[in-house]
Amino acid sequence: MIKFRNVVKEYKNGKQALSGVTIDIKKGDFAFLVGSSGAGKSTFIKLLLKEQEASSGSILIDGQDITRISKRKTPLLRRNMGVVFQDFRLLQDKTVYENVAFAMEITGHKSKDIRRKVPFILGMVGLSAKAKSYPGELSGGEQQRVSIARAIINKPSLLIADEPTGNLDPKNAWDIMRLLKDINRRGTTVLVATHAQELVDEMKQRVIQLDDGVVVRDEERGSYKNAR
Residues that bind ligand ADP (CB under 6 A): 11, 13, 15, 17, 35, 37-43, 116-117, 120, 152, 155, 183, 186, 188
Q: Give per-residue burial for 25-44: e unless 16+ CB within 10 Å, then b.
A: beeebbbbbbbeeebbbbbb
CB of residue 182 to ligand ADP, shortest distance in Å: 9
Question: Closer CB to ligand ADP, residue 111 or residue 137?
Answer: 111
From residue 119, alpha-carbon distances to 79, 93, 125, 200 in Å are 21, 19, 10, 31
Contacting residues for 72 by C-beta, under 8 A, at least 6 apart: none
Is 170 exposed, middle or buried, given 0-12, 13-18 or 19+ CB atoms closer than 10 A?
exposed
Find the shortest distance in angstroms from Cβ 79 to ligand ADP: 13
Shortest distance, position 61 Cβ to ligand ADP, whole Å: 18
Quick one: 40 or 135, whose CB is closer to ligand ADP?
Answer: 40
Closest to ligand ADP by CB, 128 vs 134, is 128
Least distance to ligand ADP from the beta carbon of 183, Å?
6
- Nearer to ligand ADP among residue 14 and residue 63 (C-beta): 14
